[in-house]
Amino acid sequence: METALITGATGFIGSWLVEKLLHEGTSVTAVIIEGEEERLESHIKNAIKIICHKPGEIFEARGLVKGVDVFYNLGWGGVAPEYKNDLELQMANIRFATDAVRFAANIGCKRFVGIGSAAEYVYYEGLIKADTPPSPADLYGAAKISARFMSQQLADLLGLGFVWAIPSSIFGPRRNDNNIISYTIRTLLGGKHPSYTKLEQMWDFLYVQDLIHALYLIGKSGVDRKVYGIGSGTHRPLHEYIEKIRDIIDPSLSLGIGDRPYPHGIIPSSCVDICDLVEDTGFKPAVSFDEGIKNTIRHFERKIK
């Protein structure tokens, strides 16, 4: 992979992916919303090409770049829990995804990599695979499903290589929204009592650097029209992860496991099948949950200080 273009390069996953691509010797172009380029660290900003566009209007950037090997579409607003049922925001995400496919085709891109979510399959009890029936629990998950199928159909019409990636739950430094990992760490470091459901569901957490390595491999050697699950391959009840975080921070702290009911009375799940990913790309997770969560806790501790 000699050249790559990324939307969402200033976000949690995007910032890590830019660093990975540069480390691998890939020439990177970042298509960024006007004003957000200031979020890039100076050494990154000086190492990549930056193209700015107005919010939601990626086509303004066409004609400024040609001949890209891989287009990573990470541009998505409303990932944090408090925005997942914002209808207008999620509809705009679908439109942005299809505009990104047209943009990629117009610049002669060879492969488009779209990023989905386990939120597309929240109520499926088994391992999420390419043919798993969707079962979203919110507008965010439904929008991801819509974006996937509309983007794939459009890519076919335009003759563009297309891959869809479905990460499990991702954690690590720089993720600052109110997901369960961040919520737990912030609350416990603040000496407060976090509240949860019974956390009985099977879960798969993947450290961000493993996700980024998988995305790099998919861009480089993935098979077009495939849907790849990206995870650690390890599945445990969610409460075990939360208890591990508590034990690392302070074993004497209380956890409110069972304080809250399950939404809609249904136990969710977040475990993906990584067999195709391993077979096609040689991916192997390298960072254990214990190692990754210690890195993440240190990140939050530094922010507090």
Q: pLDDT at position 105, please?
A: 92
In a domain, 138, yes or no: yes
Q: Using CA atoms, how far apart are residues 139 and 173, in angstroms rounded to an integer? A: 26
Q: pLDDT at position 269, please?
A: 75
Given a cut of 70, is residue 13 above it in pLDDT?
yes
pLDDT-based confidence at residue 56 (cuts at 50, 70, 90): low
**Total domains present in the chain:** 1
Contact 69, 4 (CB under 8 A): yes
DSSP string, 45-75: HTTSEEEEE-TT-GGGGTTS----SEEEE--
The H or E element that residue 273 is part of is none
Contact 116, 165 (CB under 8 A): yes
Q: pLDDT at position 126, please?
A: 81
In a domain, 105, yes or no: yes
- CATH code, 135: 3.40.50.720
Q: Which tens digits make up the pLDDT trace of 142-191?
A: 999 999 999 999 999 999 999 999 999 999 998 888 889 999 999 999 99
Mean pLDDT of all residues in 120-131: 85
Q: pLDDT at position 62, please?
A: 60
In a domain, 155, yes or no: yes
Which residues, in sequence order, are CB contacts of 298 under 8 Å at separation 6+? none
What percentage of the chain reaches a pLDDT higher than 70? Answer: 97
Contact 206, 168 (CB under 8 A): yes
In a domain, 187, yes or no: no
What is the domain range of residue 164?
3-172+204-234+273-281
Helix (H, G, I), strand (E, B) or coil at 227: strand
Residue with tokens 């993906």: 272
Contact 70, 4 (CB under 8 A): yes
Q: pLDDT at position 35, please?
A: 79
Mean pLDDT of all residues in 8-15: 91
In a domain, 8, yes or no: yes
In a domain, 24, yes or no: yes
Structure tokens at 96: 């942005």
The 3-class secondary structure across 24-48, one letter per residue, is CCCEEEEEEECCHHHHCCHHHHCCC
Q: pTM, whole model, 2 decimals?
A: 0.92
Q: What is the mean pLDDT of the chain?
A: 91
Given a cut of 90, is residue 304 above it in pLDDT?
no
In a domain, 165, yes or no: yes
In a domain, 28, yes or no: yes
Given a cut of 90, is residue 4 above it in pLDDT?
yes
pLDDT-based confidence at residue 58 (cuts at 50, 70, 90): low
